[in-house]
Amino acid sequence: MADHGAPGERRRWFASPDIDLIVWFDEADAPIAFQLCYDKRRAERALTWHSDIGFVHTAVDTGERQDGLRYKAAPILVEGGRADLSRMTDLLAAASRRVPPAIAAFVTSKLRQHPDYPCAT
């Protein structure tokens, strides 16, 4: 998906049947970016956040053709429409047993900062 691999940065990848979470860290081991891929079994989408650019929501074009007339192409990210932030938060919470608490808290706090995040009433 996204590649923020600048020199000195490292990443950690967490996976479950429903989501993939990739988190990039700077040289001081502080998180600087993440990509949360969700609905992997249906119509996969990805929300990417980077400290330099903010949020980008995309869909994953798997490269599969419905007519079967050509070979599978490499998956690419395309315009993804409106992000389902409540669903992402729920999926992350369900998978967070595999994610260190500090990383899960970081991603959840960024999701809540998204301009479309539903406000509690």
Domain ranges of the chain: 10-113
Amino acid at 60: V
pLDDT of residue 96: 79
Helix (H) or strand (E) holding 44: none
Average of per-residue pLDDT across 57-62: 80
Phi, psi of 71 (to 5 degrees): -70, 155
Strand order in the sheet with 45-50: 10-15, 19-25, 31-38, 45-50, 54-61, 76-79
The lowest-confidence range among 5-9, 15-19, 36-40, 68-72 is 5-9
pLDDT at 120 over 60: no
The lowest-confidence range among 2-6, 8-12, 54-58, 90-94 is 2-6
Output the CA torsion 117→102→27→34 (10° steps).
-30
Confidence of residue 97 (pLDDT cuts 50, 70, 90): confident
Average of per-residue pLDDT across 93-115: 90
**Alpha-carbon gap, residue 14 to 89, rounded angstroms:** 15
What sign does the dihedral 105-106-107-108 (CA atoms) show?
positive
